Chain A
Amino acid sequence: MIIHLYLNDKELKQEIADDMLLLDFLRDNQCYSVKGGCETSNCGLCTVLVEDKPVLSCSTLAARVDGKHVVTLEGLQEEASELGAFLADQGADQCGFCSPGLVISILAMKKELDHPSDEEIKEYLAGNLCRCTGYMSQLRGIKQYFSECRFHSPSQSEGSTEK
């Protein structure tokens, strides 16, 4: 079948096998940040945004993103490097394998939640497994990122308090 989508804001039309997974489709299109880690829909490594919502690309059929906007870390370089610096400051980036999925989820959380508590952060990110850090350094980095971001970009925080 032919699918027509927007990958990182670039229009794309491609012939695919009907049962191709979005994960494989993205890697075939040079989005190597997207990785399959568990094969049981569990680890969150393969997380990408489809219409702004975080989904598991390992469990999404590429056929189902026809007509939609898909964003991977490759399309979020600026945001990712800003967030990455906060994580690195806390030593939260160890082997780095889980980082792309985690970063996508944090950016999605930032759009959805306003002033999340520690519990809300943990719950939102429960689907992103990390086998190095023990999560504490990540939590510190995320909290710093949220407070600094609000400080630096007032327009964004005003926007998110409107709802």
Chain B
Amino acid sequence: MANINKIVKVNSLTEAYELNQKRSNVVLGGFMWLKMGNRSFQNAIDLSKLGLDQIEETGDAFSIGCMCTLRDLELHAGLNQAFKGGIREAVHHIIGVQFRNGATVGGSIYGRYGFSDVLTCFMALNTTVELYKAGIMPLTEFAELKYDNDILLRIHIKKDQRRLSYQSQRLSKTDFPLITVAVSKKDDCFYIAVGARPAKARLLVKPGCTLNKNSLEEDIIDFSNWAADQFNYGSNMRGSEDYRRHLAAVYIKRGIKELL
């Protein structure tokens, strides 16, 4: 288990940021993943007192504090209404209620884990992250950055009329996923995020799509196969590269059909 010498419940972001400049210190999320490691930390920075555990909904966006839990996402009426339950679908397979009451959205996104359902799901939406120093940047850009000493404060999701379909597969219920696929559509543009390849999610943006309700099944399959081929896959104990590529194509197809 990870060792922590001191937990500091910070009173301000400045204090948190200053502490986080030392490599031996760490920002605490839900402590679900961090606990699993064997690292020793001098100071663990606890952001609990900073009011970052709220989901705020405005006319055109959602702002999700980094300390919100996965369960908060799952139960938020506004999010579920805006994305037709897609976000709930992305998180409700993650272990159990008691786990999701602990795991934080900030931890999931900051960690940029390969297995992350949350990262895959948010990537297919119009999502930006808000960092203390670097400010606001697209999630796709943040996902490619190396870990640094900045602090993730909020995740913003625009309500831009995108519709979302989320699918994932697990070898057994509550396990890590072996593939995660989020597809969204706005006008004639498809946004397709595939994660757990087992590498972390990446996004494919395909504007100018002519697929529609009356499209032939084979055209949808051709497009899905093409889209799945735009990602690279790998093998591990949960599945082979070929199996993952095959599954990705199937789930992309199902996502697209749901959105047409």
Contact = CB atoms under 8 A, between A and B. Distances in A.
Interface residues of A, number: 27
Interface stretch (B1-9, B193-201, B206-214): B1-9
A59 B97 contact: no
B102 A125 contact: no
Interface string B1-28: 1111111010000000000000000001
B101 interface: yes
A123 B46 contact: no
A115 interface: no
A60 B35 CA distance: 9
B243 interface: no
A56 B4 contact: no
Interface stretch (A38-46, A75-83, A92-100, A154-162): A38-46
A135 B172 CA distance: 15
B102 A1 contact: no
Interface stretch (A47-55, A136-144, A145-153): A47-55
A54 B46 contact: no
B53 to A, nearest CB: 12
Contact of A60 (B5, B6, B102): B102
Given A59-B32, A105-B96, A127-B96, 18 more contacts: A1-B7, A19-B3, A19-B4, A41-B35, A41-B36, A41-B99, A42-B99, A42-B174, A53-B71, A56-B98, A60-B31, A60-B102, A61-B4, A61-B7, A63-B7, A64-B31, A64-B48, A108-B97
Contacts of B30: 59
A40 to B, nearest CB: 7
Nearest to B96: A127
A47 B4 contact: no
A21 B30 CA distance: 13
A59 B46 contact: no
A18 interface: yes
Interface residues of B, number: 28
B7 A19 contact: yes
B158 interface: no
B189 to A, nearest CB: 33
B254 interface: no
A61 B2 CA distance: 11
Interface in B27-46: 28, 30-32, 35-36, 44, 46
Nearest to A62: B7
Interface string A27-40: 00000000000001
Interface of A: 1, 18-19, 21, 40-42, 44, 47, 53-56, 59-61, 63-64, 105, 108-109, 123-128
Given A55-B101, A55-B102, A126-B173, A18 B95 contact: no
20 contacts: A18-B44, A19-B2, A19-B3, A19-B5, A21-B1, A42-B95, A47-B98, A53-B71, A55-B101, A59-B32, A61-B28, A105-B96, A105-B98, A109-B97, A124-B97, A125-B96, A126-B97, A126-B173, A127-B96, A127-B98
B3 A127 contact: no
B92 interface: yes
Contacts of B31: 59-61, 64
A19 to B, nearest CB: 4
Most buried by A among B46, B98, B99: B98
